[in-house]
Amino acid sequence: MAPSAPRDSLFNERIVWTGHPQAITTPPVFRAAAIVLFISAAISTSFSFVLSLALSASPAASLLFAAWCTALGLLCLQLPRIWLSKVRYIVTEHHVISQRGPFRRTIERRAISFARIFWNPKAAGIGDIDLVRAVPTGALRRRLMLRLSGVSCPDRVWAIIRGEEKVAPLGHGERPLAQRMDAGERVVWSAQPRSNLRAYLPHGPREWALIAISAFLFLAFGRMLWSAIPALEKIHRAGLAANSVAFLALVFGIATTLLLVASVGAFLLYDTVIRPGRLVRETRYLITDKRVLIQRGLEELHLDRSRIVDVIDAPAGEGVRNVFLVLDGPRARALAASGAFGETERGPNLRPVFESVVDAEGVAKILRTPSLPRAA
- Beta strand residue intervals within the chain, DSSP E: 15-19, 88-92, 95-100, 103-108, 114-119, 126-135, 142-152, 187-191, 283-288, 291-296, 299-304, 308-317, 320-329, 332-334, 353-357
Task: Output phi, psi for 322, to 5 deg.
Answer: -95, 135
**Contact (Cβ atoms closer than 8 angstroms) between residue 49 and residue 252:** no
What pTM, to 2 d.p., does this model score?
0.82
From the centroid of its chain, how far is CA 179? Answer: 25
Low-confidence ranges of the chain (pLDDT < 70): 1-5, 8-10, 135-143, 168-174, 329-347, 370-376
Q: Would you state the torsion angle of the CA atoms of residues 50, 53, 58, 63, taken in this order, to the nearest 10 degrees?
A: 50
- The CA–CA distances, whole Å, from 49 to 65, 239, 243, 280 equal 14, 17, 14, 48
Gap between the Cα atoms of 357 and 355, Å rounded: 6
User: CA 289 to CA 369: how far, in whole Å?
Assistant: 10
The pLDDT assigned to 45 comes to 94
